[in-house]
Structure 1
Amino acid sequence: MWNDYPKRGQYRETPIPNELASSVRTLSYERDPDEPIVDVEPNSIYRWVKRAGERRYAATGDEGWTLLDVHDLRRTWGGHLLWNCGALPAVVMSWGGWEDWETFRSHYLGMMSPAAAEREREKISFVPGTVESDPGADQVFEPTVQSRSLY
């Protein structure tokens, strides 16, 4: 996809769920490949996200939904790939268009889980000892408190 807003002129190719891919194929059937599939002003997308947050707030009473914005969608998508799918951070950065490692590290990766640190330690023959860890944890990264995610 060509991202016209807010990072004008950048091309991004990202993985999407099969169900979404099927919907995109259906919507784009017999269309010019250069035509956008969803042709709306960016402000419309901002309004859609704001309304979705308002509906979730009404349904749950969780005030956090009143703070939902489009940035949270990208952040949640990236966090899902990192925490739930185990994708490598460099790959997620490439797919999502993140360029600043320090910002990405600080806001998306959070703290390294003890279980992940132990797994990595075991791969290195010259590192002695073990680190106490939660045997049930299998995530590589644990979200930090400052990270807001819908997952």
Structure 2
Amino acid sequence: MRCERNKDGSFNVWMTRDEYHELPRAADTFQREIAIRLMGDCGLRVAEVLDVKPVHISRKADGKHYDLEVVSGKDTTGEYAGGKHRETWLPRELEALVNRYCQQHNVDENEPLIDRGKRTVQYWVEQAAEVAAKETGDEDYLRISTHDLRRCWANHLLVEENVSPRIVMALGGWSSYDAIEPYLAAPTEENIIDCMTQVGL
């Protein structure tokens, strides 16, 4: 895990996927796990998590994968009243977890999955990070914020999986390449070896 101190004293935390997976594993309810995974597996901002309803989930044309409609995404351009609409990728495992949660708790398709406030969701991440820090012995978990989950998601796709920046921009709701540039950390040694091996050098 790599931490960068900002001018205001806060930290940007860069996690590997294995390090990230400790957080949803540490959540003590389905609802908390879903909230964490909507940020870390779908790239949602914490405020966007609060608007997710079962009705926003749909099956893609191939019948095997799922879309998650983000109805009030952050709009930095000022062009969209009420926020910018987009669709992002919803992993099948997370869709199954959401479906199970809705059935067990009788969540209507038009009810929010996360019926809490922004600060509560931030607190859930802090609690999961405290558990992860104890279990792993890595105190850097204590510096993790909700935005680090979105950073981890974007960095994983861009750097580790070599997903096209245009796809990541569409899924994450970024309007320009400059907006996602901060999510590009230096590639890992494994990433460099894999890429250079593939090109035969």
Shared fold per TM-score greater than 0.5? yes
* Counterparts of 1:65 and 1:59, CA distance in 2: 10
- Preserved CA contact (<8 Å) 2:72 2:84: yes
- Residue equivalent to 1:86: 162
- Residue equivalent to 1:109: 184
The one-letter code sitting in structure 2 at the alignment partner of 1:77 is: W
| Number of equivalences | 118
- Preserved CA contact (<8 Å) 1:5 1:42: no
Structure showing greater radius of gyration is 1
- Residues 137-148 of structure 1 correspond to what in structure 2 (within 5 A)? 137-138=194-195
SS in 1 for 2:115: coil
- Residue equivalent to 1:64: 140
SS in 2 for 1:12: strand
SS in 1 for 2:87: coil
The one of 99, 108, 113 equivalent to 1:37 is 113
- Residue equivalent to 1:96: 172
Q: Please state how far the C-alpha of 1:4 moved relative to its aligned partner.
A: 5.0
Matched, 1:22 2:96: yes
The one-letter code sitting in structure 2 at the alignment partner of 1:78 is: A
- 1:119-148 CA distances to partner (integer Å, 9 max, x unpaired)? xxxxxxxxxxxxxxx6x3328xxxxxxxxx
The one of 12, 17, 21 equivalent to 2:86 is 12
Provide the aligned C-alpha RMSD in A: 3.0
- Preserved CA contact (<8 Å) 2:159 2:187: no
* Cα distance change of structure 1 residues 83 and 111 upon mapping to structure 2, 3 Å threshold: closer
Structure 2: segments with no counterpart, 5+ residues = 1-68, 76-81, 197-201
Q: Please state how far the C-alpha of 1:110 moved relative to its aligned partner.
A: 3.6
When the two structures are superposed, what TM-score results if normalisation uses the length of structure 2?
A: 0.49
When the two structures are superposed, what TM-score results if normalisation uses the length of structure 1?
A: 0.62
SS in 2 for 1:11: strand
Higher strand residue share: 2
Identity %, equivalent residues: 31
